[in-house]
Amino acid sequence: MRIIAFIITISICIPISSYSQDYDFTSKSKKAIKFYNSGASNYTNRNYNAAITDLEKSLDHDQEFIESWLLLGDILTDVSRFDDAITAYNKALSIDSTFFPPVYYFLANIHYSVGDYHKSAICYDKLLDFNTISDELRAISAKKLIFAITADSLISNPVNTVPKNMGSRVNTQNDEYVNYVNTGDDLLMLTKRTKKSEYSSAMYVEQLYKADKIDSIWETPVPIDLEWRGDKNMGTINFSTDGRTMYFTGCYWPDSYGGCDLYYSNSSGYEWLPPKNLGVRLNTSTWESQPVISSDGKKLFFASKRQGSKGGSDIWMSVKLKNNSWSPPVNLGDSINTPDDEMAPFLHADGKTLFFASKGHPGLGGFDLFVSKADELGRWSKAKNIGYPTNSGYNEINIFSSIDGSTSWISSDRAGGYGNYDIYYFDNYETVLPEKVMYVEGRVIDSEAGTPLSAKVEITNLDNYEIINKTISDSVTGSFLIVVYPGIDYAFNISKSGYLFLSENINLEEDSGMESVKKTFELSKITTGGQLTMNNVFFQFNSHDLLESSYYELDKLVDLLLEYPSYKIEITGHTDNIGKPEYNMKLSQRRATSVGEYLINKGIKSNRLSYVAMGSTKPVASNETEEGRAKNRRTEIIIK
């Protein structure tokens, strides 16, 4: 209706049947005008084929009839015959390029929609040369010119990877959305969106599925039964880094505060527990969706159309307070949000790399995926398009990136898939690379019975004793996963009432080549003869003076001795083999005594403590490497 609207405007809404009487057409052929009017009438009545036939007849009578070419271009655009529409518009321009300047806008839009971004930019640019166009059209065209130039640049400078479809076992003719992939890249969580039966009031239903990879092949996904869900609307699912907490959107649930609210559900073993609403601070009477949690559980990101948004849906963030409640959310600002829609945030385990989908930032069309990085002060960098062909002229709607930063998965409705949205994967490249993180993944078991234990797992910064991350191992499986970040010296600690705590030191102050840890951790009950290695007790070089970084773990030993006052302990000092044996023996004695003095100063009676010096006589690792020598320089506690 573009050219008709134009003619109506300049003829002050004179009926189409009166154009020939009151509007000065560019054609003087009565038959051409007659067929034009008939075509316009059929177009308004959505009789497209008849309208095209009328206009072709009009042009048979006058090939220079600009209005017929323009209206033909409009109709051909509406029926998606884009190449023919471009020909029609260009024919009108060849007759008189100044007759109707907005035709450059129509052409630019078509070129952009079919992926010819260079020609699109040229058309927008030519339109902006006219000083007769409206301020509104000028503003829109100037914005779209930036989009076209950006898209052309992205196409001209592709990234060095091509997303690969996950195949017909995972993807179907329905919508598939990626939710989570585990650290071993052998478990995929995804959402399938399918049409409901004709008797249902809802058009679609979203169901959570899981797929296992066996012998490098993904098995057919199977649905996950959530008994508490019933027939309630649920979707846009994300998981915590360890995969043990599910965050999702529930629409029109009985306990909701509005249309769509944010919820979470914890798992116990292989069962998902009844969910809880995330509360009135996060949920409003408007629309909240697509929640994702940071790896340390301290920040929650989500999309919302709440008051304060810049337009459409925006990305918001809330911080967990000391009382475990959530702070009032804050809008992530102009670097992320635009007057258009931003949605589907995903924060990598590094806590600094944020991905999201947007229509408002320059891209290739539809929703594109973007990335932003947080600096040391938490300020987000200007969103950057993650590039072509990861993004396409279709819609890339969400992303999941592996904890090790090697691989990402996206959901896209691009051409060549199995239908609607499919899941694709690709090797990460510079634009999408997160910062390096490590993780400790394992199971906690009883050292004698071998049964899984629910225990407290903590990662603590030894410089300031701040607990960086903490979790509880699963009571059914004993499993856990916890993330650590480079540049920090950590104490890793597992504790449970009735058991000796387990400690390890993870020093990432320098890039030492350490890799992530996957192992089983055994806890020993507090009984006579039980042994505990204090891996985070450190001394000055060639001295028995304790370093301050030792205090955190020694305080845990104090707490243990206060909890069990009937037990005594033997403190055993060990050294590496550097130096003379007799010197090392005396040094280990002094170091054991220093530990005892610290405990006594913290209220432990001296008669509960005894000391043994082992020097370098009981190594637990090779003294040929610094790593081995560090393990040999240790303090052990034996329950007496």
Class of domain 526-640: alpha beta
String of b and e for 403-436 (b: at least 16 CB within 10 Å)? bbbeebbbbbbbeebbebbbbbbbebeeebbbee
> Is residue 495 a contact partner of residue 456, using CB atoms and an 8 Å limit?
yes
Q: Which two tokens stand for residue 189?
A: 């969580």
Partnered with residue 48 across adjacent β-strands are none
Q: Residue 541 pLDDT more than 50? A: yes
pLDDT recorded at residue 16:
35
Cα separation of 505 and 508, whole Å? 10
pLDDT recorded at residue 627:
80
Q: Is 14 exposed, middle or buried (0-12, 13-18, 19+ CB in 10 A)?
A: middle
- Residue range(s) of every CATH 1.25.40.10 domain in the chain: 2-156
> Is residue 316 a contact partner of residue 331, using CB atoms and an 8 Å limit?
yes
Q: Residue 201 pLDDT more than 70? A: no
Which phi and psi angles does 74 have, rounded to 5°?
-60, -50
Q: Residue 18 pLDDT more than 50? A: no
Partnered with residue 318 across adjacent β-strands are 300
> Is residue 262 a contact partner of residue 302, using CB atoms and an 8 Å limit?
yes
Q: Which residues fall within 8 angstroms of residue 290, CB to CB, at 6 or more apart?
A: 236, 238, 249, 302, 303, 343, 344, 345, 398
Q: Which two tokens stand for residue 482?
A: 């916890």
Task: Taking the CA atoms of 192, 341, 248 and 250 in sequence, report the sign of the dihedral they define.
Answer: negative
Task: For the beta carbon of residue 638, count every other beta carbon within 10 angstroms.
Answer: 16
Q: Which residues fall within 8 angstroms of residue 270, CB to CB, at 6 or more apart?
A: 476
Q: Residue 510 pLDDT more than 80? A: no
Q: Which DSSP category does 606 fall into? A: G
- Beta-sheet pairing, 164-165 with 422-427: antiparallel
Q: Which residue has the tokens 């979203």?
A: 206
Q: What is the mean pLDDT of residues 366-386?
A: 96
pLDDT recorded at residue 521:
96
Domain 436-525, CATH:
2.60.40.10
pLDDT recorded at residue 17:
34
**pLDDT tens digits, 213-253:** 999 999 999 999 999 998 888 889 999 999 999 999 999 99
Q: List the one residue out of 420, 367, 355 whose CA is nearest residue 395.
A: 367
Q: Residue 140 pLDDT more than 60? A: yes
**pLDDT tens digits, 2-11:** 655 544 433 3
**pLDDT tens digits, 157-196:** 999 999 999 999 999 999 999 999 999 999 999 999 987 7
- Residue range(s) of every CATH 3.30.1330.60 domain in the chain: 526-640
> Is residue 244 a contact partner of residue 217, using CB atoms and an 8 Å limit?
no
pLDDT recorded at residue 495:
95
- Residue range(s) of every CATH 2.60.40.10 domain in the chain: 436-525
Domain 2-156, CATH:
1.25.40.10
CATH topology of domain 173-432: Neuraminidase (2.120.10)
Q: What is the mean pLDDT of residues 97-103?
A: 96
Q: Which DSSP category does 403 fall into? A: T
- Beta-sheet pairing, 531-534 with 635-639: antiparallel
pLDDT recorded at residue 14:
30
Q: List the one residue out of 491, 632, 495, 640 whose CA is nearest residue 575.
A: 632
pLDDT recorded at residue 311:
86
pLDDT recorded at residue 19:
34
Q: Which residue has the tokens 């055994």?
A: 522
Q: Mapping DSSP to helix (H, G, I), strand (E, B) and coil, where does residue 265 land?
A: strand
**Long-range contacts, stretch 418-421, CB < 8 angstroms, 24+ apart:** 418/165, 418/168, 418/171, 418/172, 418/173, 419/171, 419/172, 419/173, 419/174, 420/173, 420/174, 420/175, 420/193, 421/175, 421/176, 421/177, 421/193, 421/395, 421/397
Cα separation of 51 and 414, whole Å? 32
pLDDT recorded at residue 11:
33
Q: What is the mean pLDDT of residues 356-379?
A: 95
Q: Which two tokens stand for residue 149?
A: 């130039």
The amino acid at 208: L
pLDDT above 70 covers a percentage of the chain that reads: 95
H-type alpha helices, 473-624: 551-563, 581-601
Partnered with residue 188 across adjacent β-strands are 181, 211
> Is residue 637 a contact partner of residue 526, using CB atoms and an 8 Å limit?
no
The amino acid at 629: R
- Residue range(s) of every CATH 2.120.10.30 domain in the chain: 173-432
Q: Is 635 exposed, middle or buried (0-12, 13-18, 19+ CB in 10 A)?
A: buried
H-type alpha helices, 96-213: 103-113, 117-128, 135-156
3-state DSSP percent of the chain in helix, strand and coil, to 5: 25, 30, 45
Q: Residue 199 pLDDT more than 50? A: no
**pLDDT tens digits, 308-358:** 899 899 999 999 999 999 999 999 999 999 999 999 999 999 999 999 999
- Measured in residues, the chain has a length of 640
Q: Is 590 exposed, middle or buried (0-12, 13-18, 19+ CB in 10 A)?
A: middle
Q: Which residue has the tokens 């134009």?
A: 6
Q: What is the mean pLDDT of residues 31-58?
A: 96
**pLDDT tens digits, 404-415:** 999 999 999 999
